[in-house]
Amino acid sequence: MIKRTLEISREPAYLAVRHQQLQLRRGDDVVASFPCEDLGMVVVEHPQTTYSHAALAELMLQDAIVVLCGRDHLPCGLVLPLADHNQVVSRIQLQASIALPLRKRLWQQLIKAKILAQAENLQRNSPAARKLREYASSVRSGDPDNREAHAARTYWEAWLLQSPEATETERFRRDPDGDGVNALLNYGYAIIRAALARAIVAAGLHPALGLHHSHRSNLFCLADDLIEPLRPIVDARARELTFAGERELTQPVKAELLNLLTEEIQVGTFAGPLMVSLHRYVASLVKVLEGTSRELEIPIRCNSAVTAACGS
């Protein structure tokens, strides 16, 4: 069963728990109630939201995560459950001892899949898409030639030029600190990153121990590694919203981006909601670390032409 995502942004609420039901209260009134076991993510944006300790503890016991948003409306923090996986110690030890050649090979797979997924977001026979596929075919172990950056430059220049009404003036400049369309992308990425962190912890791994990312102040290096080939999924939805005239991070736009977690995604032979697919994705990483598989099973959009290529 897919877990539900709850967003609190329009009005303040007090989050309490009663009989394992998360209650949203305003004053003495209970305005909504949800079984904690049904919740996978609670996104809290309204600055006047308050919590009981029991509510947060019950959400953690039910393997939910709480995403906290800052003044810019973007996620700025996570409350994650401690892993209760029966192999958590051995898996973290295995994760910490990954040999450099394997790290590089996994990063190669991730970047190749990311570039192919970016190409899928462009007109198939366009010069930019052909160039991206050429970059993907030349990604080497560890990506020492930085094909990821070269591909990103080509991709973002063409990203908004897929509309019949688009002109050269609509070339997009990706800015992680930008507003407008950039804010849509940032919000979508942050939601997928949070869901990935949840799947990582559930698999008995530690989100801070990455494959490629390794900044000492980043607690989510592994999530930042694994999200790379998933970013084009967010890009596609953000572009749809942009072409529909939505260029600001409004509440309806956030709801559309949150719905990405329920979008049907393919992982190997499995097709199902993205939130479920993330667990299969992380499980495939565990298999590689344990030596029972060589390839990651990377989620892709259903009916994508990269289906056969992502794992190679």
For the stretch 199-245, pLDDT in tens is 999 899 999 999 999 888 888 999 999 999 999 999 999 999 999 99
Q: Which fold has domain 88-301?
A: Four Helix Bundle (Hemerythrin (Met), subunit A) (1.20.120)
- Identify the three-state secondary structure at position 66: strand
Q: What is the pTM of this model?
A: 0.89
By C-alpha distance, which of 200, 201, 221 is closest to 212?
Answer: 221
Q: Where are the domains of the chain?
A: 4-79, 88-301
What's the rounded Cα separation, in Å, for the pair 174 and 238? 13
Q: How does pLDDT run along the chain (312 residues), one tens digit per residue?
A: 678 999 999 898 999 999 999 999 998 899 999 999 999 999 999 999 999 999 999 999 999 999 999 988 889 999 998 766 667 888 999 999 999 999 999 999 999 999 999 999 999 899 999 999 999 999 999 999 999 999 999 999 999 876 545 555 467 889 888 899 999 999 999 999 999 999 999 899 999 999 999 888 888 999 999 999 999 999 999 999 999 999 999 999 999 999 999 999 999 888 999 999 999 999 999 999 999 999 999 999 986 554 444 443
Using only C-alpha atoms, what is the Rg of the chain?
Answer: 20
What's the rounded Cα separation, in Å, for the pair 247 and 250? 9
DSSP state of 81: P
The CATH code belonging to domain 4-79 is 3.100.10.20
206, 89 Cβ separation under 8 angstroms: no
221, 213 Cβ separation under 8 angstroms: yes
**269 burial level (CB within 10 Å; 0-12, 13-18, 19+):** exposed
296, 255 Cβ separation under 8 angstroms: no
By C-alpha distance, which of 132, 130, 180, 179 is closest to 153?
Answer: 132
